[in-house]
Amino acid sequence: MTTKNATIKDVAREAKVSVASVSRVLNGLGGVTPVTQKIVREVAARLNYVPDNAARSLITGRTHTIGAVLPDLHGEFFSELIRGIELAARAQGLHLLLSSTHDGIEDAAAAMRAMRGRVDGMLILSEHVDAAFLEENLPDKLPAVLLDSPVKSARYPVLNIDNRAGAIAMVGHLIEAGHQQVAFIGGPKTNYNAQQREKGYRTAMARHAPDAPLTLFDGNFSEESGYRAGQQMLAKKPRPQAVFAANDMMAIGCLRAFREAGLAVPGDIALAGFDDILVSRYLTPPLSTVQVRIADLGRLALERLAALLNRTDKTPASVQTLGCDIVIRESCGGKAAAGAASRKLRKPPRPSRS
């Protein structure tokens, strides 16, 4: 036999006060005698009363929940991102509604629409998002923060990883270590992070080894694609002296191709990745890579969103960039040393001239 959960009316009746007083006490609004307060609290506790959130948000218009729309939940990246977001949300007294999207833009739109009325704001990470899309699919004036996005909107703050600086630092290190000819294995064409990493590669090459050839291989962030790129590399006439993969998984695949061909890393060829996933440090040889503090990215994004919700946020919507560090292990043949690819949290590479 199901006993219904207690409502505010039950508490009011038992405490012999009005529902208004119960509400005032439980929300700490004051204007209630200590004695009344005590009674109300006791009754509420006795009845195991918990306010109904649906009713509350119906009238207040606030859900104290934020939604996260992520493209997939696979791998360390999203695990860490979610962790960062959840931790920060919990610290802000916010709940986290999680949604993944798989089948492209329509899917993302559906996910966003389904969150209407369930969340006070959204964290969005999607390749398909642009300003027009947001305009169309975000409920009126619902605050949102974008992650890993090229969008420049006056309305939505964006939080990015400084992929470019990270790539530049790593390629720079490779060249300084004596490997002029650095090849690059790229990620998915539509992935913003991948695009920026490629840009960084090009920039660093132009800057530090302008005479060396630019050698790019296609990849899609999967180990398999890295493996294929590695094989292609072996067939190349003048073999590159070093390889910079746009992520660690591809570096791992590449390493496998090299090993199968009897090529020593870093003896015959140097190798570096991007992300610093857990695996990287346990490889043989341990993989040099660019470390991204993904949990921090999630935390910062949520804090930015929370600021928006609280209207604490005075600064206009802007693009923030989270720096990353290169971590040098054995795979690139340099002496072990770590350097900051860019400072802690900083403004975008090219601030408005001022």
Partner DNA sequence: ATGAAAGCGCTAACAT
Partner DNA sequence: ATGTTAGCGCTTTCAT
Contact set with DNA (CB under 7 A): 4, 7-9, 16-21, 23-24, 26-27, 29-33, 35-36, 49, 51-52, 55-56, 58-60
Nearest to 274 by CA among 164, 158, 126: 164
252-271 residues near a second copy, rule: CB under 8 A: 252
Of 29, 206, 214, 278, which one interacts with a second copy (CB under 8 A)? 278
Distance separating alpha carbons of residues 225 and 254, to the nearest angstrom: 8
Cβ-based nearer residue to DNA, 142 or 297 = 142
Binding mask 236-255 for a second copy (x = CB under 8 A): ----------------x---
Omega before 34 within 30 of 0, i.e. cis:
no
Q: What is the DSSP string of 280-329?
A: GGGSSSPPBEEE--HHHHHHHHHHHHHHHHTT---SPS-EEEE--EEE--
Cβ-based nearer residue to a second copy, 49 or 244 = 49
Distance separating alpha carbons of residues 136 and 112, to the nearest angstrom: 11
Distance separating alpha carbons of residues 286 and 332, to the nearest angstrom: 9
Of 20, 29, 45, 50, which one interacts with a second copy (CB under 8 A)? 50
* Interface region with a second copy, contact rule CB under 8 A, candidates 135-143, 157-165, 179-187, 198-206: 135-143
51 binds a second copy (CB under 8 A): yes
> Residue 114 binds which entry of a second copy, DNA, none, with Cβ cut-offs from 5 to 8 Å by kind?
a second copy
96 binds a second copy (CB under 8 A): yes
Nearest to 243 by CA among 296, 186, 193, 158: 186
> Residue 178 binds which entry of DNA, a second copy, none, with Cβ cut-offs from 5 to 8 Å by kind?
none
Of 21, 63, 126, 289, which one interacts with a second copy (CB under 8 A)? 63
**Assigned token pair, 151:** 């969008």
Q: Minimum CB separation from a second copy for residue 247, in Å? A: 14
Of 140, 210, 337, 350, which one interacts with a second copy (CB under 8 A)? 140
Distance separating alpha carbons of residues 238 and 99, to the nearest angstrom: 47
> Residue 282 binds which entry of DNA, a second copy, none, with Cβ cut-offs from 5 to 8 Å by kind?
a second copy
Distance separating alpha carbons of residues 261 and 235, to the nearest angstrom: 11
Extract long-range pairs of 74-78: CB within 8 Å, 24+ residues apart. 75/277, 76/275, 76/277, 76/278, 76/294, 77/275, 77/277, 77/294
83 binds a second copy (CB under 8 A): yes
Angle at 144 between CA 141 and CA 150, to 5 degrees: 120
Q: Minimum CB separation from a second copy for residue 211, in Å? A: 36
* Interface region with a second copy, contact rule CB under 8 A, candidates 73-81, 146-154, 210-218, 307-315: 73-81
**Assigned token pair, 3:** 């006993």
Distance separating alpha carbons of residues 85 and 241, to the nearest angstrom: 40
117 binds a second copy (CB under 8 A): yes
Tell me if residue 275 falls in helix, strand or coil: strand
Q: Which residues in this chain contact a second copy in the complex, by CB under 8 A?
A: 2-5, 50-55, 57-58, 63, 65, 73-76, 78-79, 82-83, 86-87, 90, 95-100, 113-118, 139-141, 252, 277-279, 282-284
